[in-house]
Amino acid sequence: MAQPKKWSNVQISMQSAIAAAVEITAISKAETAVASAVGHPYANGEIIYLEVQGMRQLNDCVVRVANKTADTFELEGIDTREFDDFSSGTAQKVTLGTSISTATNISSSSGGFDFIDTTTIHENSRSQMPGLPAASTFTLDNIWDVSDAGLKAMKKASDAQAKRAFKFTFGQGGQVMLFVGYVGANLLPGGQAQGLVTTPTTITMNGTPSYYAS
């Protein structure tokens, strides 16, 4: 039975640093994918950002490292058996050292899918298949404080139009979501008379998120 979650005691961490890229020479098609990278520096539990060609489903994904050896490591929890074939790629270790602790409200848009008409002249009813998904977006209302380190970091990322990795950790059970996206933040204040001064920020997701039970 599913365990209900609340938006309470949720920790939001944003990328504060990213290391140099390490070449990946292969990624297996397996229930748990194994990446080959000669002499890689990664340790179990570290978080990496992937840029991948060929196996497009992994491009712009943020995942955890598991069961590392000198020249390989698992992409924890990632099933690639039905993915496209890998051709080339890189991994970069991500440090999630910036806390976003000003949010008072959060909403998400799953984007939905475009649909492609696959109806032929031989059919008497229409058929369709899903096409590209629209970008998913998180919108946060934040307590307005221009000295807050998290808000300053979000504005810096927004000004640079730079992707950042994010980690959401839920207090009930510690479940985790990892993803990468672009930030929109200009820190303009808003609100109502005698109410809290707030400022909106947005995160537009690239790639697909990774989920972990703890």
For the chain, what percent of residues have pLDDT higher than 90? 83
Average pLDDT, the chain: 95
User: At a CB cut-off of 8 Å and minimum separation 6, what does 21 contact?
Assistant: 51, 90, 91, 92
Residue 66: pLDDT band with limits 50, 70, 90: very high
pLDDT value at 207 more than 70: yes
Q: What is the pTM of this model?
A: 0.91
For residue 102, the Cα-to-chain-centroid distance in whole angstroms is: 20
pLDDT, tens digit (0-9, with 9 covering 90-100), for 108-119: 987 678 889 999
Instruction: Write down the pLDDT at residue 111.
Output: 64
For the chain, what percent of residues have pLDDT higher than 70? 100
Instruction: Write down the pLDDT at residue 132.
Output: 78
